[in-house]
Amino acid sequence: MASLYLTWTLDGIVTITYNTQQGRNTRSSRTKEKRQKQRKAQPLSEGFYPETTEKNRQMIVWKMIQCDDKLVSSLHPLTPRTIKNMEQWHYFVGDIHGCYDEYKEIEACIHRHAERQKVRPLIVSVGDMIDRGPASASVVRHFRRGTEAGTHAAVMGNHEEFLLVSLWEFAPWGVRLGGLPHGIRTLKQRFESKKGSARVLLWEQYRMFYQYMWITQGGYETLESFQCNPHQPKQWDINAEDLSFLLQLPMYWENKDYVVTHALPKAEHLTYVRQFTPQGEEEADEDWSARLEVYRDACRQLLWRRPPQEEAPDPDRLHISGHTSYNRVKRTKRTKTLQLDTGCIYKQRLTAWCGEDNTFFRAQYRHPPESHP
């Protein structure tokens, strides 16, 4: 007799595994009571697709959609082979800023849309997944697991950079994760550049200024969501899996039709970041240092630049970004740009866009800001 195992996740994915060693499927002969007992016996899984290593099992996946606290299944099961062979459509999401409930509402809409179109969705975040909102840790873990499963992708935002620089300075992680990415300067390097506030502050003043700036710009809520005490930097201990994911976020994402960065850089900055390579074996240290500084300046433009665009960053592809909040999506045909940040955290809405059929998805802001103690 075949065995049936069910696991499901809060992210809306149900996995059903059959034991097919007997060569037949006895699902139809099971009583409702036995199925309920089996469901209760199986622990909830936190992963997207629980691993199955036994050779005598095959996995069948039912997509489930979270909608109004109910799970609504698709009409037909999808085998892993069917899912792999489905056409992939791209769904781009604006700045989430820790608004996990609003994001889940958007993702439910995306899954319903993809199911109607019979396509496989890839959800791409334009960065700034964290800070200001109440559930940054949940957003990070959701995208980390989705990236591991191949269903999600994300780029570095200026708030992810803010977090990494702050943690490296005030609560440095272990050497096993390495240091900051090449494109991000440490706080000490920023101070030594003598730009901005570093021109008028002493080192300790600058150091405290940066810490207070991040805390008041949303870092407080992020640290709380990771169960860290914002007032005790020595306790800023984010788990290694989530931290590693943030450290490995790329500065840009692209395919043949779209380019995604957090801010809206000039073409020269995007080109330099694309063409950057690590130090060569025969490259002099002085040449490498000079090239690295130019690369870091270019990366900063991909994370922070706000001035209006005069020309297309990429003349051959649509450039999608966030960072600068507008009341509605801003699309500029002349520069081939689409800016998706519609200010969810500022009591407006979260927006996503499907490139293949030009469909927009919106979720209204829900969470009132909480006052700090």
- On whether residue 232 sits in a domain, the answer given is yes
Q: Are 79 and 122 part of one and the same domain?
A: no
Give the residue-averaged pLDDT of 190-202: 95
- On whether residue 371 sits in a domain, the answer given is no
Number of domains into which the chain is organized: 2
Last residue of a domain, one of 33, 63, 85: 85
Question: How many residues are recorded in the chain?
Answer: 373
- On whether residue 164 sits in a domain, the answer given is yes
Cβ pair 291, 299 in contact under 8 A: no
Question: What is the extent of the structural domain holding 21?
Answer: 4-85
The CA distance from 313 to 14, in Å, is 41
Q: Interhelix angle for 240-247 vs 158-170, to 10°?
A: 120
Least-confidence region, from 2-16, 112-126, 181-195, 278-292: 2-16
- Of 317, 335, 324, which Cα lies nearest the Cα of 274? 317
Instruction: Output the six-digit token pair for 232.
Output: 């005790």
Instruction: Output the six-digit token pair for 2.
Output: 């075949």
Q: Are 69 and 99 part of one and the same domain?
A: no
| pLDDT band at residue 321 using 50, 70 and 90 as cut-offs | very high
- On whether residue 105 sits in a domain, the answer given is yes
Last residue of a domain, one of 61, 85, 109: 85
- Of 262, 169, 264, which Cα lies nearest the Cα of 215? 169
Q: Which residues pair with 73 in a beta bridge?
A: 64
User: How does pLDDT run across 208-223, given as a tens digit for each residue?
Assistant: 999 999 999 999 999 9
**129 pLDDT more than 60:** yes
Q: Are 76 and 157 part of one and the same domain?
A: no
- On whether residue 188 sits in a domain, the answer given is yes
User: How does pLDDT run across 12-60, given as a tens digit for each residue?
Assistant: 444 444 443 444 443 444 455 555 554 443 333 333 333 333 333 333 3
Contacts 24+ apart (CB under 8 A), 296-299: 296/182, 296/183, 296/184, 296/185, 297/269, 298/183, 298/265, 298/268, 298/269, 298/270, 298/272, 298/273, 299/183, 299/184, 299/251, 299/273
- On whether residue 370 sits in a domain, the answer given is no
Q: Are 57 and 110 part of one and the same domain?
A: no
Q: Are 45 and 95 part of one and the same domain?
A: no
- On whether residue 373 sits in a domain, the answer given is no
User: How does pLDDT run across 94-122, given as a tens digit for each residue?
Assistant: 999 999 999 999 999 999 999 999 999 99
Instruction: Output the six-digit token pair for 235.
Output: 């306790």
Least-confidence region, from 28-37, 141-150, 286-295, 308-317: 28-37
Q: Are 67 and 101 part of one and the same domain?
A: no
- Of 174, 178, 173, 203, which Cα lies nearest the Cα of 190? 203
Cβ pair 203, 285 in contact under 8 A: no
The CA distance from 345 to 367, in Å, is 8
C-alpha distances out from residue 187 to 45, 83, 131, 233, 311, Å: 39, 45, 19, 15, 32
- On whether residue 340 sits in a domain, the answer given is yes
pLDDT at 175: 72
Cβ pair 169, 135 in contact under 8 A: no
pLDDT at 309: 80
Q: Are 157 and 294 part of one and the same domain?
A: yes
| pLDDT band at residue 83 using 50, 70 and 90 as cut-offs | low
Q: Which amino acid is at 27?
A: R
**77 pLDDT more than 50:** no
Higher-confidence position of 74 and 351: 351
**73 pLDDT more than 70:** no
Q: Are 208 and 351 part of one and the same domain?
A: yes
Give the residue-averaged pLDDT of 154-176: 94
| pLDDT band at residue 78 using 50, 70 and 90 as cut-offs | low
Three-class SS of residue 260?
Answer: strand
Three-class SS of residue 346?
Answer: helix
CATH number of the CATH domain containing 317:
3.60.21.10
The CA distance from 226 to 238, in Å, is 6
The model's pTM: 0.78
Residue 170 phi/psi, 5-degree rounding, is -105, -20
Q: Are 25 and 169 part of one and the same domain?
A: no
Q: Are 139 and 52 part of one and the same domain?
A: no
Q: Are 304 and 173 part of one and the same domain?
A: yes
Q: Are 108 and 22 part of one and the same domain?
A: no
Last residue of a domain, one of 85, 114, 147: 85
